[in-house]
Amino acid sequence: MRLISYCILLLLGSVFSASRALALPPAQEIIFAINSPGSPPYLYFDAQSQSYQGVVVDFFASFAKKANLNVTYLDSSRARNELLLRQGKADMFLSGEAWLDDPSGFLFSKPLIQHNSYLYATTAFDGPFDINKSDGELVCTRFGYKYPVLQKAFDSEAQSLIRVNSASQTLMALMLTKGRCDYAIMSEQNALSVMNKRQFCANEFYQSPNIISSISLVLVIRAGRQDLLPIINEYMAGFIRNGHLSRSIKRHSGDHKFPKLTCD
C-alpha cells in the first residue's frame, strides 16, 4: 500500500513539474530598453496613463503573472540599447536584426511581427516608388534609426534622397504636413497609430503603393538571459496563434484606412 501511495506521489510530482516547465522562478525581473518615447503601436509612452503601453506591454501582460515575471521599462535610445545589453544594464529590446550595429553575441526570439515600411506623402503617388528615379527628395526619418534599403540613396554623392532626422514619428508626420520633407518613412502600423492623432484631422496622408522594406521584429536578448528565450518563444507563439497579437495591434493602431483617417 505504501509503495502504491509513493508511486502516485511520484506521478503527481512529475505532472506538476511538466506544467511548470515553462514557468520562471519567482520574482524574475526583466529590464526592457525602449527607444524613448517609443513607437506606437509596438511600445510607446501614454501621456494619459503616464505609463508605457502597446503590443509589447500586452504580450508580457498575457503571461507575466503565470511566469512570476516583472517587467521594468527603461528609457533609452536605439544607439544605446545594444550597449546597455552588453553591459548587463538591460535584458532586451525590440528591433530588427538588420538594424543592429553588431548582432554578434545576442539572442533573438522568434519574429513577433513583420515591420513593413512604406513612404508617406500628402499628395497621391502616381505609381510605385522607384528609388532609382529619386532626385534629391527630402525624406523624414527618425534620428538613430537605420533604413538599409534607402541608405545607398542617402549616401550617394548626388544625394538622390536627403535624410531629414526627427525625434519621433509624430514629429515626422508634422514635418511632412508643414512641407519640410517630401516623404516620411514608417511602418504601416506606426503610420496608422500616429497619423490618426487629432492634430492631423485636417490632413490626408497617402501611402506608397509598394513596400519599401520588410523586417521581422524580434526581441533582442542579452546572452546572460538564455533562460528567457524558450519561455518568450513559447508564449509568443500562443499570443500570435490565439489572435491576441492582431487584436492588440488594432487596439493601439485604430481601425483606419489611408488617405483620410478617422481621428481619435
pLDDT digits (tens, 9 = 90+) for 205-217: 999 999 999 999 9
Task: For residue 68, tell me if it sits in a domain.
Answer: yes
Give the pLDDT of residue 48.
86
CA trace torsion 183, 185, 191, 196 (10° rounding): -30
Query: Is 11 within the bounds of a domain?
Result: no
Q: Is residue 16 part of a domain?
A: no
Which is it for strands 183-187 and 28-35: parallel, antiparallel or unpaired? unpaired
Whether 210 and 220 map to the same domain: the answer is no
**13 found inside a domain:** no
Would you say residue 10 has pLDDT above 90? no
Three-state secondary structure string covering 2-17: HHHHHHHHHHHHHHHH
| pLDDT one-digit tens code per residue, 156-205 | 888 899 999 999 999 999 999 999 999 999 999 889 888 888 888 888 99
Q: How many domains does the chain have?
A: 2
**Other Cβ atoms within 10 Å of 25 Cβ, number:** 10
Q: Strand 213-222 vs strand 92-96: parallel, antiparallel, or unpaired?
A: antiparallel
CA 228 to chain centre: 19
Grid look-up 512529475 returns: 14
pTM of the model: 0.78
Of the pLDDT bands very low, low, confident and very high (cuts 50, 70, 90), residue 247 is very high
With a cut of 50, say whether residue 2 has pLDDT above it. no
Q: CB neighbours of 251 closer than 8 A, spacing ≥ 6?
A: 41, 58
Whether 105 and 122 share a structural domain: no
102-146: per-residue pLDDT in tens? 999 999 999 999 999 999 999 999 999 999 899 999 999 999 888
31 and 102 co-located in one domain: yes
Same domain, 35 and 156: no
For residue 214, what pLDDT is reported? Answer: 95
Residue linked to cell 545576442: 106
What pLDDT was estimated at residue 197? 82
C-alpha 24/C-alpha 64 separation (Å) is 9
pLDDT given for residue 210 in this prediction: 96
Confirm whether 9 is domain-assigned: no
Residue 22 confidence (pLDDT): 53
221 part of a folded domain? yes
In a domain, 12, yes or no: no
For residue range 12-70, list pLDDT tens digits in order.
455 444 444 455 456 689 999 998 888 889 999 888 888 999 999 999 999 999 989 99
Work out the burial of residue 120: count CB atoms within 10 Å of its CB; fewer than 13 is exposed, 13-18 middle, 19 or more buried.
buried
DSSP 3-state percent helix, strand, coil across the chain (nearest 5)? 35, 25, 40
Kindly state whether residues 205 and 231 are assigned to the same domain.
no
Q: Are residues 125 and 146 in the same domain?
A: yes
Burial class (CB in 10 A: 0-12, 13-18, 19+), 154: middle
Structural domain of residue 101, as residue ranges? 22-112+216-253
User: Could you tell me if 152 and 200 lie in one domain?
Assistant: yes
* pLDDT at residue 19, as a whole number: 43
Burial class (CB in 10 A: 0-12, 13-18, 19+), 179: exposed
The strand pairing partners of 94, in sequence order, are 219
Shared-domain flag, residues 107 and 229: yes
DSSP 3-state of 75? strand
Return d(Cα 141, Cα 169) in angstroms, integer: 8
Domain membership of residue 249 (yes or no) is yes
Nine cell digits for residue 201: 484631422
**What CATH number is attached to the domain comprising 178?**
3.40.190.10
